[in-house]
Amino acid sequence: MPTALVTGAAGFIGYFTSKRLLAEGYDVVGLDAMSDYYDVALKQARLKLLAADERFEFVQARVEDEGVLANILSRGVDLVVHLAAQAGVRFSIEQPRAYLDSNIRGTFELLEAARAHPVKHLMIASTSSAYGANDVYPYVEAMRTDHQMSFYAATKKACEAMSHSYAHLYNIPTTCFRFFTVYGPWGRPDMAPYKFTKAILEGTPIDVYNHGNMKRDFTYVEDLVDRLVALAAHQPETGKPAEHDSLSPVAPWRVVNIGRGKPVELADFIAAIETAAGRKAKQNLLPMQAGDVPATWADTTLVDALLGPQEHQTSLEKGVQAFVDWYRGYYGV
C-alpha cells in the first residue's frame, strides 16, 4: 500500500483529501495541530469520520516543531499533501506571526524532512491570493506574482519559492497548488459561504464588502480534490516546459491553479444561498477590506493539459445546496 502524509488533515480540504486518498488505496497519516483559529469541534468531527478507517492514523503536532515531520517521513512515505497552514487573509493583518510560524517555518521543516527522507511527490497548497495585485484575468501560472496584498499571500508565495529551491538542490518532485475560494460541506466558519449561510438562516445581516462588487472563482471542494489527487501521479520532471506549463527549467517543480475557471459575482453567490435556504439575506454594504482583491479567476489550461478537461464540475446551485443542507444537518437548524 502506498502511504500518504496529509498535513492539516482535520482541516476542511485536508478532510476531503484524506478521505479520497483512503478511497484510492493509500494508507494515510493525518497530521494536524487542531489550532483554535476556528471551532475545534468541527475539526474533531471531521477527524472522527476519518478515524473510522483503520488505515488512517492521526498525529497531533505542529508542522514547525523540529523533527516532527522528519520522524514521520523516516518511516517511508510516498506522497505528501501539505495543507496545514494558518489560512485567512484578514486574520493575517491581526496575527502575522501565526503565518510566519505555521506557513514559513512549517514548510521549511517539511522541506528539510523531505531532503533527509525522499518522497515520490511533494504537493504543497498555495493560494490564488499569490496573484496579488494582478488585474489581468484569468490568472495564468506563468504570470509574474510579485505584488502580494496580504501577509498571508506573501507567506504562501514564500513557500512556493522555498520549495522551488529545495526541488532544485535536492531533486524533490514538487507541485504547488494555487487554490481558488474553496467551498462545500464541512467548510470553514471564517469564510463567506459559511458566514452568509449562518446569518441568512438566523435572520441577521450579512457583511458584503466592496458594496458587492466582487467576483470569486468559487470551487467546490470535491471537484478540487478530484484534481488534486489525480495530479499526485504527475510528478514534475525537470525539462523544457511546454507552452502554458509553469514547469521550472532547473527543478522538478511546477505550480498549478486549481479552480473552477468560472468566476461568480458575489450577488449571484448570495442569491444561490437564498434559494437553497429559502430565505432572503439582509445586506450590510461595506467598503473593500484591507488586503482583499476585487476578483479571482483561474485559468485552467495547465491542469486541463495535464489531466484532460474536468468531466464533472459541480454547478454553483448544486454546490451551494450541498453546503446549506450540510449546515442545516450538522447544526440541526
Ligand X SMILES: NC(=O)c1ccc[n+]([C@@H]2O[C@H](COP(=O)([O-])OP(=O)(O)OC[C@H]3O[C@@H](n4cnc5c(N)ncnc54)[C@H](O)[C@@H]3O)[C@@H](O)[C@H]2O)c1
Residues forming contacts to ligand X in the complex (CB under 6 A) are 8, 10-14, 32-35, 43, 62-64, 83-87, 102, 106, 125, 127, 179, 181-182, 188
Question: CA-to-CA distance for 64 and 201, rounded, in angstroms?
Answer: 39
Half-sphere exposure of 33 (CA within 13 A, CB side): 19
Q: Least distance to ligand X from the beta carbon of 6, Å?
A: 10
| Pair 325, 186: CB distance under 8 Å | no
Q: Least distance to ligand X from the beta carbon of 247, Å?
A: 21
- With respect to ligand X, which residue has the nearer C-beta, 102 or 282? 102
Q: Least distance to ligand X from the beta carbon of 225, Å?
A: 11
Q: Residue of minimal CB distance from ligand X?
A: 11
- With respect to ligand X, which residue has the nearer C-beta, 166 or 179? 179
**Could you give the C-alpha distances from 129 to 18, 65, 69, 153, 180, in angstroms and in order?**
24, 26, 26, 5, 8
**Could you give the C-alpha distances from 11 to 31, 193, 328, in angstroms and in order?**
10, 16, 20
| Pair 96, 88: CB distance under 8 Å | no
- With respect to ligand X, which residue has the nearer C-beta, 182 or 320? 182
Given the residues 15, 26, 152, 327, the one annotated as active site:
152
Residue 331 appears among annotated catalytic residues? no
- With respect to ligand X, which residue has the nearer C-beta, 8 or 173? 8
Question: CA-to-CA distance for 200 and 103, rounded, in angstroms?
Answer: 33
Question: CA-to-CA distance for 111 and 229, rounded, in angstroms?
Answer: 21
Give the cell for residue 39.
471551532
Q: Least distance to ligand X from the beta carbon of 278, Å?
A: 26
* Active site residues per annotation: 152
